[in-house]
């Protein structure tokens, strides 16, 4: 059995985040010593490591909760877990595409800048024009 600080160090999860996960029921309430200190065992370390890895992969709390529930049914089909992972991959692909578009736009803006006076700055001009376009009906602001 280990204390919350050791659990935090072992999993790389902040102490306040561990307490938050306990409050929302993502982590079980820990056992406590007579003095009221939290105590964690190997299953807690494993569950918190699972949660941390899932968060690093971008899964939302609700999705992690679902996967933890499915984890409790080892004989069930893996089909739903696979679908969840496929949905996350699609979301990551979408984010990558949007980020690549942002990168291209920023690159064009920087290349068009002559590094002169702010009054003549192409970057500021392009950003102001984008805001103007975004405010027009029928224009996509993203």
pLDDT tens, residue by residue, 54-95: 999 999 999 999 999 999 998 988 999 999 999 999 999 999
**Per-residue pLDDT tens for 42-62?**
999 999 999 999 999 999 999
Same domain for 56 and 112, yes or no, is no
Same domain for 67 and 101, yes or no, is no
How many folded domains does the chain comprise?
Answer: 2
Q: Please, which pLDDT band fits residue 115 given cuts at 50, 70 and 90?
A: confident
**Per-residue pLDDT tens for 120-135?**
787 888 777 765 555 5
Nearest Cα residue to 124 out of 109, 139, 111, 142: 109
In this prediction, residues 14-42 reach a mean pLDDT of 95
- Kindly provide the b/e burial profile for residues 77-100, where b requires at least 16 CB atoms within 10 angstroms of the residue's own CB: eeeeeeebeeebeeeeeeeeeeee
Same domain for 105 and 61, yes or no, is no
Is the torsion defined by CA of 114, 117, 122, 124 positive or negative? positive
Range of the domain at 52: 4-71
């Amino acid at each position: 059995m280990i204390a919350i600080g050791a659990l935090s160090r072992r999993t790389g999860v902040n102490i306040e985040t561990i307490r938050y996960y306990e409050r929302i029921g993502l982590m079980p309430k820990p056992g406590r010593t007579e003095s009221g200190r939290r105590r964690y065992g190997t299953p807690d370390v494993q569950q918190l490591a699972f949660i941390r890895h899932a968060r690093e992969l971008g899964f939302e709390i609700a999705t992690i909760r679902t996967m933890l529930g499915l984890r409790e049914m080892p004989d069930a089909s893996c089909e739903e877990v696979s679908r969840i992972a496929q949905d996350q991959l699609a979301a990551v692909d979408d984010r990558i595409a949007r980020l690549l578009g942002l990168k291209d736009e920023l690159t064009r803006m920087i290349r068009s800048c002559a590094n002169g006076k702010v009054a003549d700055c192409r970057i500021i001009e392009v950003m102001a024009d984008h805001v103007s376009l975004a405010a027009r009906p029928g224009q996509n602001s993203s």
